[in-house]
Chain A
Amino acid sequence: MDPSDLPPELRDLERRLAARGRPEPSADFRPRVLAAVRRELAAQGGAGRLGAGPWWRRHEVWQYAAAAAAGVLLVLNLAMSASLGDDFFRPRAPNGADVAQAAAKIRELVPSITPDEALREAIALRAGSHLVMAPRPWPGFLSPRLLRQLEEGVPWVMQ
């Protein structure tokens, strides 16, 4: 809609609205605003100096601090991973040739086992070879029966 399309009656109303005169601020308003501006500039550490002011009010300081903290966290994380010996590149999936070889070995040792069972056992062995040792959890954590078994001399559980 083109605003200049106002009909004559509305144009007349518009003229009357404009004729009300624009209200003017009080005489002391300009110095009051500029004094407030001056105070705010002074609070920022002085007019004319961009970025001046108390260091904690400068956002670039906080940007730098956040970037530095992120860097430190990354380095700490990598250092802890390295010290714990995590190997992120170790293949997790069982190697098909290894599993087949292990299945064949199982069948040699236990001829009565079926090929499917030998393969299942080989896969289970392979999976178990990646288990890590874990310390014994606190007693209340385990069921009384398992706890008794542990107390019979099993110092570590496989998880």
Chain B
Amino acid sequence: MTGTPQDALLEGLVAGREEAFAAAYDEYGGRLFAAACGMLGSREEAEDAVQDVFVGLVQARESLRRVRNLKAYLFASIRYAAVRRARRRKTVELVADRAARLAVGGGPDPDVGCRLERALRRLPPEQRETVALHIDGGLTFAEIAECLGVGLNTAASRYRYAMEKLREALKEPDRGPV
């Protein structure tokens, strides 16, 4: 079975070797966290979701034998974990707070950064997760399509619609926190 580094990693995960889980975290943990932040808008919840994914990997490690693309599997898992957490979320946080805690402020105008975050929060979930997976998770559209179980064109269209909505939202006068 050992062929590509991913195969070796999968083999280690199936065998329950701790160093394989550490390697998987080093390879994908940061991007999974970033994507979860994009979907959930909360660092704490994103960390919990990533932890859920890794604990779930241990619990389901025997079924990993059937996994062909570990990256797509992990991002599909983080999406599932994020959706599950979003459903049971009890409090609504202010986007400005999220934006501050996510250490956004990357642009020249912090206000634009906050408006961008608010606009992202207003996107339909399927568009928001596509943006999170592409921008924060670094997935290609083919990988997003595999992860979400949709066609390549659907994934690309969702992304484009999201970008158009964000552009329109930035043109409008600021509507304040959601």
Interface of A toward B, CB cutoff 8 Å: 1-3, 6, 9-10, 13-14, 16-26, 29-30, 32-34, 36-38, 40-41, 44, 47-51, 59
Given contacts A25-B50, A34-B25, A44-B58, contact A18 B135 (CB under 8 A): yes
Report which of A1, A9, A16, A36 forms a contact with B54, defined as CB distance below 8 A. Answer: A36
| Distance (whole angstroms) from the CB of B45 to the closest CB of chain A | 12
Q: Is the interface of B mostly helix, strand, loop or mixed?
A: helix
Report the minimum CB–CB distance from A3 to chain B (whole Å).
4
Question: 4 smallest A-B Cβ distances: which pairs?
Answer: A40-B58, A3-B156, A20-B106, A22-B34
Q: Are A16 and B116 touching (Cβ within 8 A)?
A: yes
Contact status A32-B107, CB under 8 Å: no
| Residues of B44-98 contacting chain A, CB below 8 A | 46-47, 50-51, 54-55, 57-59, 62
Q: Is B102 an interface residue (CB 8 A)?
A: yes
| Interfacial residues, chain B to chain A (CB-CB below 8 A) | 14-18, 21-22, 25, 29-31, 33-34, 37, 43, 46-47, 50-51, 54-55, 57-59, 62, 102-107, 112-113, 116, 131, 135-136, 141, 153, 156-157, 159-160, 163-164, 166-167, 170
- B54 near A23 (CB under 8 angstroms)? no
